[in-house]
Amino acid sequence: MLKSRHLIEPEDFTKEELEEIFVLADEIIKKPSRFSNSCSGKLLATLFYEPSTRTRFSFESAMLRLGGQVVGFSEPGSSSVMKGESIPDTIRTVASYTDIIAMRHPKEGAPKLASIYSPVPIINAGDGGHQHPTQTLTDLLTIRNTKKTFSNLTIGLCGDLKFGRTVHSLIKALSRYENNSFILISPQELQIPSYIKNEVLNMKGIKYKEVERLEDVIGELDILYMTRVQKERFFNEADYIRLKDSYILDSEKMKLAKEDLSVLHPLPRVNEISYEVDNDPRACYFKQVKFGMFVRMALILKLLGVE
């Protein structure tokens, strides 16, 4: 039963519950008009304590396409947060007005804190470098549609694996399915945090390796998940400049890859995927964006208990 639940990290839902969401998302994809009034009279709050046009638009489009309405802020400067209001107080206030809340916050664990105080469902729309579960749902729905399975896959994750929260969430999620292995491709400075290695990969005995060069391993991959080296995650401009071009996917590297590789990217990209790759049928990142809206529609319906 997903009604009234929070989504803070992918593991909050069982595999069966995730499957429920994906099945509903597929129904929405097939016939969106059937759901265009499902959330009539319902209100979504989008509390974005840091800017993210893409994710906010995705949530807002999802709610509007379900016939619901949206209120919120897209930067804390325009809210009572600037007056020093605490997260628990903001949440208790907003939850009095709305039926469901999507929250993005630069501090890790902020949505978890919000969920403790909220009587309505909280959806974590990204918390610092920590978790981004709706991106994971997006990624999983994309994989489900392109690979038709969540098992027996070799998944390469490339770029900023240290601060890339989408990567952390995706590893946790795919670790729950059988016989997957991971190839972690990053510069030393941006390797995956030890808690993911210790608590997820090592604890579950999942096969993985850490490498520095994409071209050495691209031929082994069923899925290549590219990420941006995010400028805002660096304390030091010089480090950013030194590392930002480390991992660029281009047609030359794609020649080394399997014919049925799926290339995913949470977007926005800077220059880590050359534009020439966009026309390659293996490039799935723009399909992924659309899957993101559909999966958020399914999630909102499930958490509100309206279908």
Partner 1 sequence: MLNIDSIANGIVIDHIKVGCGFKIFNYLGLDKADCRVALIMNANSKKHGKKDLIKIENVMDLDLTMLGFIDPDITINIIEDEKIKEKITLSLPEKIENILECKNPRCVTSIERNINHKFVLVDKEKGIYKCEYCDHIYED
Query: To which H or E segment does residue 263 belong?
Result: strand 262-264
Task: Please choose, out of 58-66, 82-90, 153-161, 258-266, the segment that lies near partner 1 by the rule CB under 8 A.
Answer: 82-90
Contact 288, 251 (CB under 8 A): no
110 binds partner 1 (CB under 8 A): yes
In terms of CB distance, is 11 or 220 closer to partner 1?
11
104 binds partner 1 (CB under 8 A): no
In terms of CB distance, is 41 or 106 closer to partner 1?
106
Q: Say whether 287 is catalytic.
A: no
In terms of CB distance, is 114 or 218 closer to partner 1?
114
How many Å apart are CA 157 and CA 15, to the nearest integer?
22
Q: Say whether 154 is catalytic.
A: no
CA neighbor of 229 nearest in space, from 159, 131, 135: 159
Rounded to a whole number of angstroms, the CA Rg of the chain reads: 19
Catalytic entry in 105, 132, 172, 253? 132
Contact 285, 227 (CB under 8 A): no
Q: Say whether 231 is catalytic.
A: no
x/- track of binding to partner 1 for residues 159-198 (CB under 8 A): -----------------------------------xx--x
Q: Tell me which of 42, 130, 253, 302 binds partner 1, using CB under 8 A.
A: 130
CA neighbor of 43 nearest in space, from 25, 56, 60: 60
In terms of CB distance, is 110 or 306 closer to partner 1?
110
In terms of CB distance, is 172 or 302 closer to partner 1?
172
Contact 245, 126 (CB under 8 A): no
Task: Please choose, out of 38-46, 51-59, 128-136, 297-305, the segment that lies near partner 1 by the rule CB under 8 A.
Answer: 128-136
Q: How far is the CB of 195 from partner 1 (least distance, A)?
A: 5
Catalytic entry in 46, 55, 146, 227? 55
In terms of CB distance, is 88 or 268 closer to partner 1?
88
219 binds partner 1 (CB under 8 A): no
Contacts with 202 (C-beta within 8 Å, 6 or more apart), sequence order: none
129 binds partner 1 (CB under 8 A): yes
How many Å apart are CA 291 and CA 145, to the nearest integer?
9
| Phi, psi for residue 158 in degrees, rounded to 5 | -130, 135
How many Å apart are CA 36 and CA 257, to the nearest integer?
40
Q: How far is the CB of 180 from partner 1 (least distance, A)?
A: 21
Q: Say whether 242 is catalytic.
A: no
Q: How far is the CB of 129 from partner 1 (least distance, A)?
A: 6
6 binds partner 1 (CB under 8 A): no
| Phi, psi for residue 301 in degrees, rounded to 5 | -60, -45
Per-residue tokens: 136: 């994971």
Residue 214's alpha-carbon distances to 42, 226, 250, in angstroms, are 46, 10, 11
Active site residues: 54-55, 83, 104, 132
